[in-house]
A and B are shown apart, each in its own frame.
Chain A
Amino acid sequence: MTQHMDSSSGPVTGRQDAAAEPAPGEAADRAVAGILDAVVRPAPGAPRGVVVDSPPGAGKSTLVVRAARELVGAGERLMIVAQTNSQVDDLVDRLATKASGMSIGRLHASDSKPAPEALRHANVTAKDKVADLLEQDVVISTAAKWQWVRTEQPWRQAIVDEAYQMRSDALLAVARLFERALFVGDPGQLDPFTVVGTDQWAGLSYDPSSSAVVTLLAHNPAIRPHRLPVSWRLPASAAPLVSAAFYPYTPFRAGTGPDDRTLRPGLRGDGSAVDAAIDEAAATGWALLELPARHTVRTDAQAVAAVAATVRRLLDRELTAHSEQGSAPLTPGRVAVGTAHRDQAAAVRAELARLGVPVDPAAGECVTVDTANRLQGREYDVTVVLHPLSGRPDATAFHLETGRLCVLASRHRHACIVVARAGIPELLDDHPATEPVQLGVAVKFPDGWEANHAVLSHLAEHRVRL
């Protein structure tokens, strides 16, 4: 087990050679072309897997759609594995829109119905038995459902989406279904987890509770992960921070320059702290709306109210987002609120409803309010984040988890406003990092404690006190 450690011990530095860097578009195109070559036209003797690390907003979904189209175009039958039903439905929707000539099978569990967005396309067939979908160009389902599929004829090609969130044991159960596979995912998001003891397998290359990609790479040292080097989502104000705080071992950069994205309020601020925070965020991409220090319960009413008021004012002040894609007004659908806990999201939703902000998707375009887990893979123009440690008297491993903050801080194209009570740095100091270390497990992520500090010290420069 030390040998898989050695394979990961190549030199890694935090530095970048700025001088020799090609333009972001060029760098990204080159990366994508290399990946598609490896997937669609593998060299003889090439490894059976292709792994792509994609930082937030680096074009992972676009890559998956392109790879699917090229593979189907080359005459392959394709299976796609995603991790949650909503990821599957999203992917079906996107694929069906982008490739109307492709026949797509949506395989679902007998007790769960696919979302309407996935079913509205003529080229999508939804069934709960794989036998009914074998004629489709592409069959898409969750890893959990694929595990139950029995088939005599495996697929030649698979795409595994959000592969870093897939557990090794799930891959063990589905790998028999395909010969070759493209694995794409974001190594910085929330890790898979289990509630039972797994210490006895820690450090084993196939630890069933670890990420599928970790196992795959350990057993297939010939696979050299590709990397999408440019984030098209994160603005120039966010990419360096997110890269340094969460991806210090595999840095990336923004695809747009500081002037490519602007966010302009149509109405002037009313002098309130909330409006000042909005102005700060519009101007710099970040704002920290800070409430006075106090220990509160999770659903801190004042913080919830501050979040809701911020969203209300964001919508009232008629902001316009200009970007390389053109100009668009900031409508409710372009705004999201991120929290750590479900009850916090529920409280924010209730408060927003009270302020007349649409939050019910069934009733039309609305503000998304959800937990970090559910915001993974999503993108908005502006996000308002209730800081996971705000008002907390303690900092548990859950709240310090690197991926949680990373998800919340990397959903936006223009600006992110963090609402928090003062005193989080001091709280962190009282709850030091004592993460255990497994021998033979390559370090991929920074410590959550340190990442939290790094983000906070950056946010401190954009502080507006409430």
Chain B
Amino acid sequence: MSLLSTLARLEAVRAQRAQPLATVRHRHLSDRPMVLVPLAAAGEAGAPLAVLLGTDRREPRLHFVPQPLNRTQRSEFLAAVAREVVPYLESFGDEVELLEGSEKDPVSGEKVPVVRELCADAPQLIVPNAGGVAHLALLGRSTRFRRTVEDPDPGEYPSPTEVPLLGRWLTHLTDRAQVPGSSMLLAMTGLLARHWATGQSNLEDQHLAARLAWHLPPAGLEPPALGAEAAEWVESARDGEGLLLHPPAGPATDPKFDERVLAPAILRHDAAVAVRERAGAARDDAEVRRAAALVERAHAELARVLLSATLPAWHDVWNGVDLLRALPPAGHLPDRWEGDRWSFTMHRERVAAGEPPQPRRDDAVTAARKLAQREREQAKLEIQEALDDPLAMAERRLAGEAFAGEVVDVVPEWSEGRSPKPRPLLVVRTGDRPHADPGREVHRAHAEPAQRAEIVSSAPGEVVVRLLSGMGRRRDPEPGSVPEPGSTVVFTLFELAPRQSAPLPEPADTPWTHGGPPVAVEDAPAGADEWE
């Protein structure tokens, strides 16, 4: 943790409320995000139990698996979720921008103009925490290979067609979520952590309600309170039956809830279903009707308890959205969001083109490409955040990677040679202490066009730099391109444009060191065999 964020945490301890870590919002927030609060069934990897989802905070919609071990019910649940989520995702494909570009013709090798579609907007899913993202990834992995009724060999338990489609989207979104600065799938705890410090540790901040308790008094706490006391209350306060007053935000449920509430409710539902089936087998109409009512009641009861287990987190996520919306958006958000739009557009095209689902494992080249992309985006994110937010720049200044100050003197000088170019010296008064040895290249923040300089000397309180570029082509600098005495400047020791990544071979050209070209292993579609 950096000293600045430690300081913010210390301040939060004293104030017993969250303290800002950013002056602007560094992640894109959609006007129409979809919030999901997924719950998993205990004991089994990625087994879905329920999800509360929707785009309208007043209208959360609950889907659940009445008997989490029942494959058919699980399939129905996934199909129902798919029918909510997939149309939401696809709705963003309706409006597209047409962009003109060029592409190399694979045959002639000549550049030919092409028009590409870019979706005007992209979807955004928000889950409570990192566990929620991981759960969606597991769901994606477990559903994208499912066989459907449309398969030539549908297997014993074919899924509705939407299910593998949902799996492919979830896989794409969770993969994209690994890209630094991307905003198509976000965890609320991560969003809040980027923008505010609490007076507790990172580990405790993973509990959404506990971390929100540093912003807003938790619902139900009397008298209302903030900070450590409120956080501890949401973490641990239980009612007479031993149930948490504020259930966790999932995907894991509280074991006590499983034991005291959920297991009995599932049992009652199972029993009611069994009665109905027996009655059905016995062709006892009256009994069937009575049992159907029982099933309905048991179903409603399950819905009630699962809603009570997810609704607090639902409100917590939306409260978090409110907090974030109150921050002004950072300047570079549209730029990064465009990356998300491309990512969305391209996946939509792959689906439309009938390409197979993402493989279980990336091949060597794909993995290396993804890593290169993430590193590039990480570098870009760090640069953009520093430029967008003085508090992010302060981190860099504290680390000696940038300095800010007032220009106290400008000495006009020129380069030697036949056509001398301006090389003015700037004397900058600063309280910062950059790790700047003479000769080191530095970059002027917010300069348009980009401007390079080099350190001439650096002493406590004063740094002298020589501007090297960005002053036009003539002997005298373009007006306004050299800062005036009295103006404030920021120079960074890091470059302000991320470096390109080196080219990688095509997967078909994977070299011997990496096992040669990947052998096309059919990812066998999964039937019922995977889940039991």
Interface residues of A (CB under 8 A from B): 48-49, 144, 147-148, 168-169, 171-173, 175-176, 194-198, 200-201, 204-209, 212, 215-216, 219-220, 342-343, 346
Whether A206 contacts B515 by the Cβ 8 Å rule is yes
Whether B513 contacts A169 by the Cβ 8 Å rule is no
Whether B371 contacts A209 by the Cβ 8 Å rule is yes
Q: How far is A147 from B372 in the complex, measured between Cα atoms in Å?
A: 13
Query: Looking across the interface, which residue of chain A has its beta carbon closest to that of B382?
Result: A195
Whether A48 contacts B512 by the Cβ 8 Å rule is yes
> Known contacts A196-B180, A219-B512: does B504 contact A201 (CB below 8 Å)?
no
Whether B515 contacts A204 by the Cβ 8 Å rule is no
Q: How far is A206 from B370 in the complex, measured between Cα atoms in Å?
A: 13
Contact with A along B495-516 (1 / 0, CB 8 A): 0000000111100011111111
- Tell me which residues across on chain A come within 8 A of B512, comparing CB atoms: 48, 175, 219-220
> Known contacts A172-B510, A200-B178: does B364 contact A206 (CB below 8 Å)?
yes
Q: How far is A148 from B500 in the complex, measured between Cα atoms in Å?
A: 11
> Known contacts A176-B505, A198-B371, A208-B368: does B378 contact A171 (CB below 8 Å)?
no
> Closest CB of chain B to A328's CB: distance in Å?
31
Whether B178 contacts A172 by the Cβ 8 Å rule is no
Query: Looking across the interface, which residue of chain A has its beta carbon closest to that of B374?
Result: A196
- Tell me which residues across on chain A come within 8 A of B516, comparing CB atoms: 219
Q: Which of B400, B505, B514 contacts A168 (CB 8 A)?
A: B514
Q: How far is A184 from B279 in the complex, measured between Cα atoms in Å?
A: 76
Classify chain B's interface size.
Answer: 20 to 34
Can you report 15 residue pairs joining A to B where beta carbons are below 8 Å apart? A172-B368, A172-B513, A173-B504, A175-B511, A175-B513, A196-B180, A196-B374, A197-B178, A200-B178, A201-B371, A206-B367, A208-B371, A215-B364, A219-B513, A219-B516
Whether B513 contacts A171 by the Cβ 8 Å rule is yes
Decide yes or no whether B283 CB sits under 8 A from chain A.
no
- Tell me which residues across on chain B come within 8 A of A173, comparing CB atoms: 368, 502-505
- Tell me which residues across on chain B come within 8 A of A209, comparing CB atoms: 371
Q: How far is A377 from B365 in the complex, measured between Cα atoms in Å?
A: 31
Q: How far is A144 from B372 in the complex, measured between Cα atoms in Å?
A: 13
> Known contacts A48-B512, A215-B513: does B374 contact A169 (CB below 8 Å)?
no
Decide yes or no whether B361 CB sits under 8 A from chain A.
yes
Whether A208 contacts B364 by the Cβ 8 Å rule is yes
Whether B371 contacts A49 by the Cβ 8 Å rule is no
Q: How far is A101 from B378 in the complex, measured between Cα atoms in Å?
A: 46
- Tell me which residues across on chain A come within 8 A of B178, comparing CB atoms: 196-197, 200
Segment 471-507 of B: residues with Cβ below 8 Å from A = 502-505
Whether B504 contacts A169 by the Cβ 8 Å rule is yes
Whether B180 contacts A172 by the Cβ 8 Å rule is no
Q: How far is A446 from B254 in the complex, measured between Cα atoms in Å?
A: 38
Q: How far is A325 from B375 in the complex, measured between Cα atoms in Å?
A: 47
Q: How far is A212 from B513 in the complex, measured between Cα atoms in Å?
A: 9
> Known contacts A195-B378, A209-B371: does B400 contact A172 (CB below 8 Å)?
no
> Known contacts A172-B511, A173-B505: does B180 contact A204 (CB below 8 Å)?
no
- Tell me which residues across on chain A come within 8 A of B435, comparing CB atoms: 342-343, 346
Decide yes or no whether B362 CB sits under 8 A from chain A.
yes
Q: How far is A147 from B501 in the complex, measured between Cα atoms in Å?
A: 9
Q: How far is A171 from B435 in the complex, measured between Cα atoms in Å?
A: 32
Q: How far is A224 from B218 in the complex, measured between Cα atoms in Å?
A: 62
> Closest CB of chain A to B361's CB: distance in Å?
6
- Tell me which residues across on chain B come within 8 A of A48, comparing CB atoms: 512
Q: How far is A48 from B435 in the complex, measured between Cα atoms in Å?
A: 45
Q: How far is A144 from B501 in the complex, measured between Cα atoms in Å?
A: 10
Whether A196 contacts B513 by the Cβ 8 Å rule is no
> Closest CB of chain A to B518's CB: distance in Å?
10
Q: What number of A-B contacts does a CB cutoff of 8 Å give?
A: 88
> Closest CB of chain A to B454's CB: distance in Å?
13
Whether B505 contacts A49 by the Cβ 8 Å rule is no
Whether A172 contacts B378 by the Cβ 8 Å rule is no
- Tell me which residues across on chain B come within 8 A of A342, comparing CB atoms: 435
Whether B371 contacts A169 by the Cβ 8 Å rule is yes
Whether A148 contacts B502 by the Cβ 8 Å rule is yes
- Tell me which residues across on chain A come within 8 A of B378, comparing CB atoms: 195-196
Whether B514 contacts A196 by the Cβ 8 Å rule is no
Whether B375 contacts A172 by the Cβ 8 Å rule is no
Known contacts A171-B514, A196-B378, A200-B175; 6 further A-B pairs (Cβ under 8 A): A172-B368, A173-B505, A206-B368, A206-B515, A219-B512, A343-B435
- Tell me which residues across on chain A come within 8 A of B180, comparing CB atoms: 196
Query: Looking across the interface, which residue of chain A has its beta carbon closest to that of B178?
Result: A197
- Tell me which residues across on chain A come within 8 A of B175, comparing CB atoms: 200
Whether B502 contacts A144 by the Cβ 8 Å rule is yes
> Closest CB of chain A to B64's CB: distance in Å?
29
Residue from A148, A197, A216 with most neighbouring chain B CB atoms (10 Å):
A197
- Tell me which residues across on chain B come within 8 A of A215, comparing CB atoms: 364, 513-514
- Tell me which residues across on chain A come within 8 A of B368, comparing CB atoms: 168-169, 172-173, 206, 208
> Known contacts A147-B502, A200-B178, A206-B364: does B515 contact A169 (CB below 8 Å)?
no
> Known contacts A194-B375, A196-B374: does B362 contact A219 (CB below 8 Å)?
no
> Known contacts A148-B502, A148-B503, A173-B502: does B371 contact A194 (CB below 8 Å)?
yes
> Closest CB of chain A to B53's CB: distance in Å?
25
Segment 376-430 of B: residues with Cβ below 8 Å from A = 378, 400
Whether A172 contacts B364 by the Cβ 8 Å rule is yes
Q: How far is A173 from B361 in the complex, measured between Cα atoms in Å?
A: 20
Q: Which of A197, A198, A206 contacts B514 (CB 8 A)?
A: A206
Q: Which of B361, B364, B370, B511 contacts A176 (CB 8 A)?
A: B511
Q: How far is A173 from B369 in the complex, measured between Cα atoms in Å?
A: 10
The 3 A-B pairs of least Cβ separation, nearest first, read: A147-B502, A175-B511, A169-B368
> Closest CB of chain A to B105's CB: distance in Å?
20
- Tell me which residues across on chain B come within 8 A of A207, comparing CB atoms: 367
Query: Looking across the interface, which residue of chain A has its beta carbon closest to that of B180?
Result: A196
Query: Looking across the interface, which residue of chain B has its beta carbon closest to that of A201?
Result: B367
- Tell me which residues across on chain A come within 8 A of B511, comparing CB atoms: 172, 175-176
Query: Looking across the interface, which residue of chain B has its beta carbon closest to that of A49?
Result: B513
> Known contacts A169-B368, A204-B367, A343-B400: does B513 contact A195 (CB below 8 Å)?
no
Residue from A207, A216, A219 with most neighbouring chain B CB atoms (10 Å):
A219
- Tell me which residues across on chain B come within 8 A of A172, comparing CB atoms: 364-365, 368, 504-505, 510-511, 513-514
- Tell me which residues across on chain B come within 8 A of A198, comparing CB atoms: 371
- Tell me which residues across on chain B come within 8 A of A219, comparing CB atoms: 512-516
Whether B509 contacts A196 by the Cβ 8 Å rule is no
Q: How far is A200 from B502 in the complex, measured between Cα atoms in Å?
A: 22
Whether B375 contacts A195 by the Cβ 8 Å rule is yes
Q: Which of B364, B371, B400, B504 contacts A196 (CB 8 A)?
A: B371
Whether A205 contacts B515 by the Cβ 8 Å rule is yes
Whether A147 contacts B503 by the Cβ 8 Å rule is yes
Residue from B368, B370, B400 with most neighbouring chain A CB atoms (10 Å):
B368
Q: How far is A205 from B512 in the complex, measured between Cα atoms in Å?
A: 13
Segment 301-320 of B: residues with Cβ below 8 Å from A = none
Q: How far is A198 from B180 in the complex, measured between Cα atoms in Å?
A: 12
- Tell me which residues across on chain B come within 8 A of A194, comparing CB atoms: 371, 375
Q: How far is A346 from B437 in the complex, measured between Cα atoms in Å?
A: 11
- Tell me which residues across on chain A come within 8 A of B513, comparing CB atoms: 49, 171-172, 175, 212, 215-216, 219-220
> Known contacts A196-B374, A219-B512: does B505 contact A201 (CB below 8 Å)?
no
Residue from A147, A208, A219 with most neighbouring chain B CB atoms (10 Å):
A208
- Tell me which residues across on chain B come within 8 A of A144, comparing CB atoms: 502
> Closest CB of chain A to B228's CB: distance in Å?
22
Q: How far is A194 from B504 in the complex, measured between Cα atoms in Å?
A: 18
Q: How far is A194 from B269 in the complex, measured between Cα atoms in Å?
A: 50
- Tell me which residues across on chain A come within 8 A of B514, comparing CB atoms: 168, 171-172, 175, 206, 215, 219
Q: How far is A69 from B368 in the complex, measured between Cα atoms in Å?
A: 34
